[in-house]
Amino acid sequence: MQKPDGHIASYYAASANPAPRRAPLEGDMEADVCIIGGGFSGVATALSLAERGVKAVILEANRIGWGASGRNGGQVLPGWSGEGEMVKQLGSRAQAFLERTRYRGNEIIEDRMRKYAIRCDYAHGAATVALNDKQMAALEAEFESYGKSGKDSDFELIDRAHLKNHVASDIYCGGLVDRRAAHCHPLNLCLGEAAAAESLGVRIFEDAKVVSITRGARPSVSTARGKVTARIVILAGNAYHKLEQESLGGYMLPAQTFTIATENLGADRARSILPDNLGVCDANWALDYFRRSADDRILFGGLCTYSNRVITDIEGALMPRLVKIFPQLDGVRAEFAWGGAIGIPLNRVPLIGRSDENIFYVQGYSGHGVNCSHIAGEILADASEARLDGVDLFEAVRHFRIPAAELIGNPMLALGMTWFRMRDAFGV
């Protein structure tokens, strides 16, 4: 394992594929599109643009994949967060979009892995597991709906008796397996796509924090030591940037989430925990999620805080939860523990839209970012060519805005999440 170079200390940073340290922006330059943020949204968009022959520049304040894109649970799950809200507001228009794009992010990733030889430990298969009868009934209804629409061939509904063939725990009463879903090493995926984008002409600058955006027919984006003037600007900074607050302030509140990676368990022991290498999440509102790594560890995440509170003893907070699920791991230590911010709009629907005619934004995937950021990359690449169907769809969704969110938003959301955690605990 290597020491992280500009990334936070995590299993992903320690096991990352080699990547160059890119220089900051120096001086002025021109581009077709300037992208602010070098996580999945920015990198996926830049690669989509480059594949269409568009000249793009990425400005990243830290390193490529520094934020949630390089720290998340690595689950490449289908669908969008906030789907129910989208259908409630937009009806059949949203339903058609959601059905069409459900696995589009997975398809983009898998195509790019083949095309650009990206090594990111990608493995098919994910499961949602139920902790009570109500959750199991919901999974049964979901499976039945796939059967009615003829889309159940990739799904398997598993009862308690057979779940141990997939998840060696006694606390779950069943689950739903999706063989088209996947999990991966997200930082290596992001680094691989960045290298692919550069091979097609994208310019990437690191340690290039944006300090201002000047609007106009050709807006300009300034850092401490340079400026990019472009036809279009795309904000892809998610939970970390504070730009365009007139348009974006108060809609999305950062939450902290945390992950541990155990010591290497050895192949036999790791496989005994998750025999067919599924990425697993439970059906709680405030969920836990876990999977095997390619080098025989268990990666376990959860304990999302909505007060922006950072947990200092992450191993002490998460390891007992993991051992509760898998008592056979008692005595195992966590070799890595880390956390970071994710973006969550109050209605959980991602924010994709425009703050000006030629300034676009994308943020707030609520934990579905690996898949959805790649779809958003196509939506924004389309927008650069004046094809705005996807942007128009998301702009039509009404979002909730909290005045003075920096002062009162997180405590309000934390109180609401306490209520949902109580519902999880009592199985209601």
pLDDT digits (tens, 9 = 90+) for 172-187: 999 999 999 999 999 9
Mean pLDDT, residues 104-114 = 98
Tell me the backbone φ, ψ of residue 259, rounded to 5 degrees. Answer: -145, 145
Architecture of domain 1-122+184-249+348-397: 3-Layer(bba) Sandwich (3.50)
Residue that the structure tokens 């947990």 belong to = 311
Checking if the pLDDT of 91 tops 50, the result is yes
Ordered by start, the domain boundaries in the chain are 1-122+184-249+348-397
Structure tokens at 346: 């109050």
The pTM of the full predicted model, rounded to 2 decimals, is 0.93
Which residue type is seen at 299?
Answer: L
Determine the pLDDT at residue 251. 80
Determine the pLDDT at residue 243. 79
- Terminal Cα distance for the chain, rounded: 44
Least confident of 62-66, 226-230, 243-247: 243-247
Checking if the pLDDT of 249 tops 90, the result is no
- CA-CA distance, 297 to 304, in Å (whole number)? 22
Residue 174, CA distances (Å) to 158, 170, 352 in order: 5, 10, 36
Contacts with 396 (C-beta within 8 Å, 6 or more apart), sequence order: 89, 90, 93
